[in-house]
Chains A and B, each alone.
Chain A
Amino acid sequence: QKEVEQNSGPLSVPEGAIASLNCTYSDRVSQSFFWYRQYSGKSPELIMSIYSNGDKEDGRFTAQLNKASQYVSLLIRDSQPSDSATYLCAVGRGGGGNKLTFGTGTQLKVEL
């Protein structure tokens, strides 16, 4: 079992729709959770962080965390073609160190 699992996709959604990206993790003591966006040929860019159960909203992005189910998701509302990228889920133990474990990413395609 991978430590951080994501569906590789591609996930295709029409412009204006809600894109839902999912991630599960295996380490129950994980405390910090991140979503990164990576455009082709570019480095990852941090877009959301979440540390507590529930929802966290930032503009068109909402991160959702359920520690009991070991599940974290990212919702992108009003999807735009510029949102087409690979989205990486990353999980950390926090505490005295913050080595993050990354999933392999979900490719999102927003179609006109």
Chain B
Amino acid sequence: GAGVSQSPSNKVTEKGKDVELRCDPISGHTALYWYRQSLGQGLEFLIYFQGNSAPDKSGLPSDRFSAERTGGSVSTLTIQRTQQEDSAVYLCASSYGTGGGYTFGSGTRLTVV
């Protein structure tokens, strides 16, 4: 696609429920990243996929968070048993190879009530 597409754009969920966030990167981009941004805070790295290599999961805050990337393209970030502190904007980005800057999607605003 022309840009990085994320869905849904907004998600309100009850505490304890599971949520899935989707990211469709720019066609041909081999690297895909997930970050989150809490209100007034910087971007926090979550996970990074590069081609067929094992993902870098070093930023996932707990075992409630997981992500997969199917066929080297679309990625899904899953948060199980959501907590209020999970409320944030979840941003997906992609890049062609490594070393260059990212293109971000418009984000998913997650609110846990």
Interface residues, chain A, CB within 8 Å of chain B?
31-32, 34, 36, 42-46, 49, 88, 90, 92, 94-105
Interface residues, chain B, CB within 8 Å of chain A?
31, 33, 35, 41-43, 45, 48, 50, 56, 59, 89, 91, 95, 98-107
In the bound complex, do residue B45 and residue A44 qualify as a contact, i.e. CB atoms below 8 Å apart? no
Given contacts A46-B103, A98-B99, is CB(A105)–CB(B91) below 8 Å? no
* A-B pairs with lowest CB-CB distance, top 6: A104-B42, A98-B98, A102-B43, A46-B101, A43-B104, A34-B101
Q: Which of A31, A32, A97, A103 contacts B42 (CB 8 A)?
A: A103
In the bound complex, do residue B56 and residue A98 qualify as a contact, i.e. CB atoms below 8 Å apart? no
A90 to B35, CA, bound (A): 13
B89 (CB) vs chain A CBs: closest residue: A43
A65 to B36, CA, bound (A): 27
Report which residue of B35, B89, B95, B102 has the largest number of chain A beta carbons within 10 angstroms of its beta carbon. B102
